[in-house]
Amino acid sequence: MSTAVSTTREETRPDAVARPAPGPQGHWLFGSVGDFRGNQLPFYERCHEEFGGVAAFRLGHRRLMLVTCPEGIEEVLVTKNRHFRKHYMLRLLKPLLGQGVLTSGGDHWLRQRRLMQPVFAKPRIAGYGEVFTRHAEREIGRWSDGERRDVHADMQRLTMGVAAETLLGVDVDGEAFEIVHRAQTEITEDFAWRFQQPLTLPVWVPTSRNRRFRASIRALEEVVYDVIRQKRERPAGETDDLLDRLLAARDDDGRGMSDRQLRDEVMTLFLAGHETTANALAWTFYLLGRHPHVGGKLREELDRVLGDRPATAADFEQLVYTRRVMKESMRLYPPAYAFGRESVRETEIAGFRVPKGWTVIVSQWVVHRDGRYYDRPLEFDPDRWTPELESSLPSYAYFPFGGGPRVCIGNTFAELESALVLATIHGRYDLELSDPDSVDVWPSITLRPRNGIPVAVRSRESRVESQEPE
Ligand code: HEM
């Protein structure tokens, strides 16, 4: 999967004989609304089983197409990406993210993406390794042996702290972090609610929910503008967070970003950067709780590679099994479980006709669990990720970070952060699931555990002590 910024040339013209895609009939007026709203994931699975890699359906007046074959996904994201734009649900995010790189399109997006890409280059992200490990250590510093916790809530606070420091230089012990934490939590919860509603009023309509939502955005925005102002006043080079790097970024004409654009990008990186990684980590601890033998193997690697010292970015390559655990966890529980595009012209995907204005959804949840690509697909088996599997998988049979020109800009950041946090926490604690059957998958903006993940935390030191002979 390339992270290079380029837009791909259109290769084929819509074929006049392309067939209409098969799909569920649904209700005469509402289409598949009932099945879809109940839980999208089983609905996607059923479409895939019954109709194959491409299925068309209707939600009221809206026409949609689900694409679950790797070759079709590649067409949507890469070879025919110019036939699509980001889809209508993303417009919900506009009041928060404005013209940021996640929601914008066309030349504006391309300029921003080019400006921002170097900021996310591997060597620069490696510089944050110490921050990732320190935040994980700080998190477990709050834990005590035997305590019951919700590891999803813990991972959310941890990744939010990482985002506040790496993006804005905001310390988690300061007042600004309290404001950021409260506002971000309210915004994320509000979006989770909005995504479930069949219809929502635009945010400018003065309902009490909308007023609260706008107040949260303003609170976050004030911190962001304040930090931008302080940074513009100080000599460059005093600090080196992502915002400093965005402030210094210049395009070929020597132009930088306006304060408004910086605000949009910071809000975007905040939202896109912490929630997804928190879910990836929370699901990983859930899977480790279900599969203690994987936890044992992971610990062997951590003991061998790290011993008693903290994990650093330099360890990343050597933490082979740790990375496989994360990879396998994002196969089964991809934080981005499906996302959409809207066709801007008539086109063709995997031989089926896509009329202009349709929403096309590609789903990691379905493809990552497809038995044609993965043996025993529902089994959590990090060892499956051998170089042989990697080289034999079709492109887009695994795509937790999307692909093509709009591939996740933060993938290196996320991979390093999640590996170092996992290594730090698992090296010191076992997380035993307190009530595994209460854990429920919730396809919200991202793939969340609906009621959190309750665990009892067991310190490794106390275990070792209790096993030592008297
Ligand atoms: C496990 C963690 C993460 C996952 C699974 C994930 C997944 C994704 C996916 C699937 C997309 C493509 C969406 C689309 O094409 O419509 C995306 C885009 C994006 N992600 Fe991530 N992401 C993660 C972490 C991060 C982090 C840590 C950051 C920033 C620090 C980030 C920033 C972004 C941005 C800005 C985009 C939009 C890129 C563009 O459209 O040019 N993500 N992410």
Residues with CB under 6 A from ligand 1: 101-102, 113, 268-269, 272-273, 276-277, 280, 335-336, 339, 400-402, 406, 408-410, 413-414
Using an 8 Å Cβ cutoff, are 31 and 431 in contact? Answer: no
Residue 211: count other Cβ atoms within 10 Å of its Cβ: 12
Residue keyed to tokens 């590649």: 74
> What is the structure's pLDDT at 235?
82
Q: From ligand 1's centre to the CA of 464, what distance in Å? A: 40
Which of 105, 99, 110, 164 is closest to 138 using CA atoms?
164
Q: What residue owns the CA closest to ligand 1's atom 11?
A: 408
Q: Give the residues across from 148 on adjacent strands.
A: 456
- 114 CB burial (10 A radius; 0-12, 13-18, 19+): middle
Query: How is residue 15 annotated by DSSP?
Result: P
Residue 355: count other Cβ atoms within 10 Å of its Cβ: 14
Q: From ligand 1's centre to the CA of 298, what distance in Å? A: 27
187 Cβ contact list (under 8 Å, min separation 6): 96, 213, 216, 217, 220, 271
Query: How is residue 164 annotated by DSSP?
Result: I
Distance CA 364, CA 361 (A): 10
> What is the structure's pLDDT at 199?
66
Name the residue of 1, 104, 408 to mutate for ligand 1: max ligand atoms within 8 A of Cβ: 408
pLDDT, one tens digit per residue, over 381-419 is 999 999 999 999 999 999 999 999 999 999 999 999 999
- 123 CB burial (10 A radius; 0-12, 13-18, 19+): exposed
Task: List Cα–Cα distances, 217 to 20, 190, 213, 229, in angstroms.
Answer: 43, 11, 6, 18
385 Cβ contact list (under 8 Å, min separation 6): 324, 327, 328
Q: What residue owns the CA closest to ligand 1's atom 7?
A: 401
Which of 286, 371, 374 is closest to 333 using CA atoms?
286
Q: Give the residues across from 58 on adjacent strands.
A: 63
Q: From ligand 1's centre to the CA of 272, what distance in Å? A: 6
Q: Give the residues across from 432 on adjacent strands.
A: 456
Distance CA 366, CA 357 (A): 24
Q: Is 334 helix (H, G, I), strand (E, B) or coil?
A: coil
Using an 8 Å Cβ cutoff, are 40 and 51 in contact? Answer: no
The mean pLDDT values, 10 residues at a time, for the chain of 470 residues are: 41 64 95 88 97 96 96 98 88 87 94 94 95 98 97 96 92 86 88 74 88 93 92 85 92 93 94 94 98 98 97 98 98 97 97 97 98 98 98 98 98 98 98 96 92 96 63
453 Cβ contact list (under 8 Å, min separation 6): 150, 151, 152, 282, 285, 286, 433, 439
381 Cβ contact list (under 8 Å, min separation 6): 328
> What is the structure's pLDDT at 369?
98
Q: From ligand 1's centre to the CA of 102, what distance in Å? A: 8
Atom of ligand 1 nearest to the CA of 339: 16
- 61 CB burial (10 A radius; 0-12, 13-18, 19+): exposed
User: Kind of pairing, strands 62-67 and 359-362?
Assistant: parallel
CA count, 13 A, side-chain hemisphere, 341: 30
Q: Is 210 helix (H, G, I), strand (E, B) or coil?
A: helix
Structure tokens that stand for 130 in this block: 């110490």
Q: What residue owns the CA closest to ligand 1's atom 1?
A: 277
Task: List Cα–Cα distances, 469 to 300, 429, 462, 465, 466, in angstroms.
Answer: 22, 21, 13, 9, 8
User: Kind of pairing, strands 441-443 and 62-67?
Assistant: unpaired
> What is the structure's pLDDT at 1?
37
Q: From ligand 1's centre to the CA of 256, what distance in Å? A: 23
Q: From ligand 1's centre to the CA of 411, what distance in Å? A: 7
> What is the structure's pLDDT at 95?
86
Which of 159, 183, 226 is closest to 413 using CA atoms?
159
Q: From ligand 1's centre to the CA of 6, what distance in Å? A: 17
Question: Class of 33-467 per CATH?
Answer: mainly alpha
Task: List Cα–Cα distances, 370 to 183, 291, 331, 397, in angstroms.
Answer: 38, 21, 10, 8
46 Cβ contact list (under 8 Å, min separation 6): 24, 35
Residue keyed to tokens 């949840």: 365
Atom of ligand 1 nearest to the CA of 90: 16
